[in-house]
Amino acid sequence: MEQLWNYIRGVVASLPTSEELASQLSAALEYDAQSPMTLAGGLFLVMFLIFGVGYLAVRRVAWLRTIYVTLFSLYFYYKLSGVYLLLLIAVALSDYIIGLLVARCRRKGQSGSSWVATSVVINLAILCYFKAGTVVAELLQSIYEGGVLDIGAVVIPAGVSFFVFQSIAYVVDISRGKIEPLRRFIDYLFLLSFFPKMFLGPLVKASEFIPQIQSPRLCVSREDMGRAVMLIVGGLFKYAVIAKSLGVLFVAPAFAGEMGDGGGVAIMAILGFTLQIYCDFSGYSDLAVGVALMLGFRLPDNFNAPYKSATITEFWRRWHISLSTWLRDYLYISLGGNRRGAVRTYLNLIITMLLGGLWHGVGICFLAWGALHGVALALHKLWMRFVPWAKATGEEMHLLLRMPSTLFTFVVVAFGWLLFTAKDMAMVESVLRSIAFNTSLADFASIADKSMTALVIMAVGYVMHFLPRSVNAAVQGVVTRAGFVGQWLMVVVMIWGVMQCGAMLEAVAAEGASLPMYAAF
């Protein structure tokens, strides 16, 4: 009995004091630049569960729901980017006011184009500063090599590209008469900051999302909940298991030269990154759509098995759909679209994709990636113009033509991802030279010896991607029929698996010291 009493006293003595608990809670609630909160993190799960209790109480009162969700979204963004929360609020306030001014001009029979231009200039200036600021800083630093000028790298706020594009679209839509401006600032702040889409999208059309904000009642059916859980579980698996594992276990060490310098390694590294970037973006998008749907809000699907595409045109109808739609509606059409002849159409496509490449990052490789896709899109349009049997998508093709077309499109896209991930064109040249002149079967055997786990993960990822739609529909049906307890059990098991995978990857990264993403091959 005395031993039990001593054990209990030891446990009680080891418990943190109230001051220690307060300090730990404060640290958890404050912004941590080393560990920002994301939808796939453990801290978000805890915060979301707390948020969910309050949401159940306010979800039937539109104005109270809007305030409640907006405040949580602002806190979520603070946990993502700290003080840059003020930038988000400033952009929202600026374009909220400009939107009202544009609408007033339209009522007076004026175009309001000067106000639209003001919004575009402000937002693009913000985007250019954060996207190109580091490049400019490094250039100036190289000029002042003596150390007279000390310029640090520009920190890019999380999701800045998405809320800037979203804000531009809102003002442009008002000027085009597609929507009326929101009367309450809190509603626009909700539109811009809604937390599931804040980090990596998807971009939403104001005309589709505003009615949901103002809806007196949001309904979540049994089928909606089943789809939401399937998206969350699948998104976590793609984002936090496949993408992260491939990056740490294979892609990063392969590009760093730790897997060998043969052409086979280069090919597998490109294939690995091609899957990794898809699972990274689409997994997070699925997670965002699922979380939003669980709350009763419907975000657009952002990816639709893009590597099944048989043409480059089809690829951009399946890849990052909300971004490609934005580029089409607000850039390509603004340039004239296909209304000014064939040559101008091809030029507009190339310009649109060049700017799309620069949106991802300022550098020659991003520019080359955009140019590749722009030229490929223009050539495909030219091909369809002069070849009678040419089709826009694989669904219109005969199976015998669709299969080689899909393979060819995949090769073009994968080469594009090499441009996207390379630190410079010298690395691209080195990788291609290695593939052309230094490839052997021994390379693939060496990869299997060094990282069989990564190869299995890669195989699982590609098999999942190429599964027919009927399989996804069947899985969704199973999840829906599992009911509330079964669905939450699936979520808990997946979160546990993600935590175990994360711990394993941290241990691997610690053993490997540093695994740079980019290195000359």
CA–CA separation, 472 and 237 (whole Å): 15
Q: In 3-state terms, what secondary structure has residue 5? A: helix
Q: Label each residue of 465-504 as H, E or C.
A: HCCCHHHHHHHHHHHHHCHHHHHHHHHHHHHHHHHHHHHH
CA–CA separation, 107 and 133 (whole Å): 39
CA–CA separation, 240 and 124 (whole Å): 32
55-58 contact pairs (CB < 8 A, 24+): 55/295
CA–CA separation, 122 and 459 (whole Å): 45
User: What is the chain's length?
Assistant: 521
- Torsion region of 411: left, alpha or beta (phi above 0 gives left; psi -120 to 50 gives alpha): alpha
Q: Give DSSP secondary structure letters for 175-213.
A: HTTSSPPPSSHHHHHHHHH-GGGTTT-----HHHHHHHH
**Taking the CA atoms of the chain, what radius of gyration do you get in angstroms?**
25
The encoded tokens of residue 358 equal 């620069």
Q: At what angle do helices 185-193 and 206-214 cross, to 10 degrees?
A: 120
Residue burial 384-396, b: 16+ Cβ < 10 Å; e: rest: eeeeeebbebbee
Residue 474 half-sphere exposure toward CB, CA atoms < 13 A: 5
CA–CA separation, 274 and 410 (whole Å): 9
Smallest Cα–Cα separation from 391: which of 374, 373, 368, 409?
409
Before 404, cis peptide (omega within 30)? no
CA–CA separation, 266 and 121 (whole Å): 42
- Determine the residue type at 190: F
Q: Which residues contact 349 (CB under 8 A, 6 or more apart)?
A: 332, 374, 377, 378, 381
Smallest Cα–Cα separation from 29: which of 8, 9, 44?
44
Smallest Cα–Cα separation from 293: which of 231, 339, 250?
231
Smallest Cα–Cα separation from 432: which of 370, 371, 514, 368?
368
Cα-Cα end-to-end distance for the chain:
67
Catalytic residues: 360
